[in-house]
Amino acid sequence: MKTKIILLVVLVLLAAVVVGNIIYGNKLAKEIDAGLKEKIANNELPVAIEYTGVKVNPLFSQVKIKDISVGALNKEATFKCEMLDIDIPYKEAQRWLESTEFEAINSLKIKLVKPEVRGEDENVSVIFDDVTVDFDGQLSKEDFDNMETRFPDKKQELLLSFSGLKVKLPENTYSNPPLSQLQEQLTSIDAGNYTLVYNPELKEIYIREFSIESPVISYKGHATFKYEGEGGRDFEPKTAAMESRLRLEPKHFEWEDENGGKGEFQLDKLVFNTNSTMSFDQKTFPQGDMDLEVVNLKIQYDNPNTNNGQSMMSLSMSDLDVERFNFNYHLDREKLSITNSRIKSSLLDAYINADVDMDLSNPANSTIKEAKVTVHDLAPDLEKMVNGFEQQMGKELPRENGAIVLELSGKLARPTIKGFEF
C-alpha cells in the first residue's frame, strides 16, 4: 500500500513539473517574442526579418524560434531556417534582448534545423539538414576590443558540425563534361565536424578533430598550431603538427562532349595519409611521413576531331590506365627516404627507392646517397622513345633481366647513373 502511495505522489509531482514548465515556458515565450519584435522593428538594417513563433523550455534552458527568414526588403528571402534552437538560460536571453550593445558571449549551443542560403540567382543555394555551433568559454567586449594587443586569457572551445549539406550550382558552371560530372558528386556531403580549442597557457590552437564524410570523400584528422606573441600585432606562428587521412572514391562516369568525343573516368580509390610537423621559422619541408595510394585509375577519351590522341612526344595519351601507384615519403631532419614506391600503369611498371641528404635551403643542391629506379613493361611508344634516346647517346641504359635499372647518386640537380656516365 505504501509503495502505491509513493508512486502516486511521484506521478503527481512529475505532472506538476511538466505542467508548470509548460505554463512558465509559455509566459517566457511571450516575453521573448515581444522583445524580438521590438528589436526587429527598431532595427534600421536594409533587410526583412520574420519568424512565426517562439517556444521556451525553462527546465532545459532552451529557446526555440520557428520559421526564420531573412532577405532584402520586398525580395525573396536569402536565408531560411525551420527552427533556431538555442540552449541558453532565460536570464541570459533576456539580457541579450534588453541590451543595446554587445557585452559578452558565454557558453551556449545553437542548432539550426534545415537552414538554407540562396544567392540572388535562384540556381545557387546551400542547404543543410542541420548545423550546430557549440561554444564553451567566455568572451567579453573587452576581449574583442583588445584582440590586437592581447588575446583572451581564458581557454575557449568551439564545435562546428553539420549534416546533409547540398550545394546547388547552375548547370553550366563547368562547360567541361568531366568537371560537371565531378561537380554532381562533390556537392553533397553527409556530415562534417570541426572542433577548435584555444589554449592561452600553452599558446596553442588545437584542432582536436576535423572530419568530412560524403559518398565519395572521407577526410579525418587533427592538428596543433603553436604560436608566439600576446596579440594580433605580434602574433607569429611557430610550428604545426598534423595527422590526417583522406580517402577519395568517386563513382565511375562517362561523358560525350560537343565535338563528338566520348570519355570514361574510373578511380577505385585514392588514399593520402600524413603525419608530419613543420617549423615556420626554418621554412623547411614538412617532417614526418606522407603516403599516397592510387588504385585503378582509368581515363579514356576518344575524340575523332583530334590527331588520334597523339601528343607531341608521340605517346598516346587518350588512354591512361594506372593499376596501382604508391608513394611513401619519410623526412627526418635532413634525411629523406622514399621506400616501396611503385607505379604500375599502361605506360610502364616502375619501382623507386631512394635515400637523399636534403639541403633544405636549396633542394636542388641535395645529395642522393643512393637511389634505384627499376622500369619494365614499357608501352610500345615509350619503348621507341627510350630506344631513340639511347641511339642519340650512343649507349644503352643499364638493364637487368630485360628491365631498365637506374642506380643514381650525386647532386639532385645533376645525378650520376651507374653504368651510364657521359
Residue 344 · residue 322 · CB < 8 Å? yes
pLDDT at 111 > cutoff 50: yes
Coil/strand/helix, residue 404: strand
Band (pLDDT 50/70/90 cuts) for residue 24 is low
Q: What is the pLDDT of residue 311?
A: 44
Band (pLDDT 50/70/90 cuts) for residue 312 is very low
Mean pLDDT of the chain: 83
Q: How far apart, in whole angstroms, are the C-alpha atoms of residue 123 and residue 125?
A: 7
**Residue 305: which residues within 8 A CB-CB, separation 6 or more?**
259, 260, 261
pLDDT at 92 > cutoff 80: no
Mean pLDDT of 282-300: 88
**pLDDT > 90 in the chain, percent:** 42
pLDDT at 103 > cutoff 80: no
Mean pLDDT of 53-76: 77
pLDDT at 101 > cutoff 70: no
Mean pLDDT of 252-279: 86
Q: Would you give the distance in Å from CA 51 to the centre of its chain?
A: 33
Band (pLDDT 50/70/90 cuts) for residue 398 is very high
Q: What is the pLDDT of residue 293?
A: 96
Which range, of 9-23, 184-198, 236-250, 308-322, averages the lowest pLDDT? 9-23
SS3 for 184-236 is: HHHCEEEEEEEEEEEECCCCEEEEEEEEEECCCEEEEEEEEEEEECCCCCCCE
Q: What is the pLDDT of residue 87?
A: 82
Coil/strand/helix, residue 394: coil
pLDDT tens digits, one per residue of 370-391 = 999 999 999 888 899 999 988 9
pLDDT at 11 > cutoff 60: no
Residue 140 · residue 174 · CB < 8 Å? no
Tell how many helices (H) and how many strands (E) occur in the chain: 5, 23
The pTM assigned to this predicted structure is 0.80
Q: What is the pLDDT of residue 309?
A: 43
More confident position, 317 or 344? 344
**Listed ranges 8-12, 80-84, 142-146, 203-207; the one with the highest mean pLDDT:** 203-207
Band (pLDDT 50/70/90 cuts) for residue 305 is low
Helix (H) or strand (E) holding 94: helix 90-98
Mean pLDDT of 248-264: 81
Residue 255: C-alpha distances to residues 244, 288, 311 (Å): 33, 40, 22
Mean pLDDT of 9-32: 56
Q: What is the pLDDT of residue 9?
A: 46
Question: What are the strands, taking DSSP E only, across 43-142?
Answer: 47-50, 53-57, 62-72, 79-87, 104-113, 116-118, 125-127, 130-140
Q: What is the pLDDT of residue 162?
A: 95
pLDDT at 63 > cutoff 50: yes
Q: Which long-range contacts (CB under 8 A, 24 or more apart) does 250-256 make?
A: 250/182, 250/185, 250/216, 251/185, 251/215, 251/216, 253/178, 253/181, 253/185, 255/177, 255/178, 255/180, 255/181, 256/177
pLDDT at 353 > cutoff 70: yes
pLDDT tens digits, one per residue of 168-211 = 877 766 667 777 777 778 888 999 999 999 999 999 999 998 99
Q: What is the pLDDT of residue 58?
A: 66
pLDDT at 36 > cutoff 80: no
Q: What is the pLDDT of residue 48?
A: 80
Which range, of 71-80, 102-111, 354-363, averages the lowest pLDDT? 71-80
Q: What's the grid cell of residue 370?
A: 643512393
pLDDT tens digits, one per residue of 112-135 = 999 998 877 667 889 999 999 999
**Closest Cα partner for 54 from 31, 79, 70?**
31
How long, in residues, is the chain? Answer: 422
Mean pLDDT of 48-52: 83
